[in-house]
Amino acid sequence: ETGVTQTPRHLVMGMTNKKSLKCEQHLGHNAMYWYKQSAKKPLELMFVYSLEERVENNSVPSRFSPECPNSSHLFLHLHTLQPEDSALYLCASSQERGLYGYTFGSGTRLTVV
Amino acid sequence: DQQVKQNSPSLSVQEGRISILNCDYTNSMFDYFLWYKKYPAEGPTFLISISSIKDKNEDGRFTVFLNKSAKHLSLHIVPSQPGDSAVYFCAASALRDNFNKFYFGSGTKLNVKP
């Protein structure tokens, strides 16, 4: 399998639940990203991992917890979310300085009820 | 504060005509720009890029123009085709360190009518 794969595609969770989003890339890239896309808003960068180290954390609430166990996998652990956290969560990867942009996954559509 | 702005949320164009999508940025340190295309239920896909050393980059039907003094870039699609109907995002970055942090606009939804 090639590209960036995100699972699950859709997720509905209650505010007291704990769930995880998974991202996997088979492109040999060395940087991975989590983005949040809310309706009619720009893509918001949440976290950046470069060479498996977190290099960026854009003031994201602690109820979102990223994990990058290796260069091919990225997780976003979710707990005690709020309804306003409902959005499309996109994972992306890039090689080196990302001169050719990112390769995005198809996203996880998250609904918090 | 939004550093990359796409002020037109939607655009409708007749098939065969030119589509022009606009993007403005505020940070003068940005020196690398991308356009992405996004279909429903899919992630954005890279379309075309331009660095600040150029003012134009062309790839088939797609051309990106950069006006550094105005901090403005535009994407021209000619001729437009119904399959071009999608949301288009522009993104800007200042090349640094070992990764690029891209700032995205909110997108313009293009509808190409047959």
CA dihedral for A61, B33, A5, A84, sign (positive or negative): positive
Residue B71's pLDDT band, with cuts at 50, 70 and 90, is very high
Q: Would an 8 Å CB–CB cutoff place A10 in contact with chain B? A: no
3-state secondary structure A95-108: CCCCCCCCEECCCE
Residue of A nearest to B4 (CA): A42
CA dihedral for A75, A81, A85, A88, sign (positive or negative): positive
Residues of chain A found within 8 Å of residue B105, distances taken between Cβ atoms: 42
Name the residue among B63, B37, B102, B25 with its Cα closest to residue A45: B102
Name the residue among A31, A43, A25, A32 with its Cα closest to residue A88: A43
Tell me: the pLDDT tens digits for A60-113?
999 999 999 998 999 999 999 999 999 999 999 988 666 677 899 999 999 999
pLDDT at A102: 87
Q: Would an 8 Å CB–CB cutoff place A71 in contact with chain B? A: no
pLDDT at B41: 80
Tell me: the pLDDT tens digits for B16-67?
999 999 999 999 989 889 999 999 888 899 999 999 999 999 999 999 999 9
Tell me: the pLDDT tens digits for A29-60?
988 999 999 887 888 889 988 877 777 777 89
Name the residue among B112, B70, B71 with its Cα closest to residue B90: B71
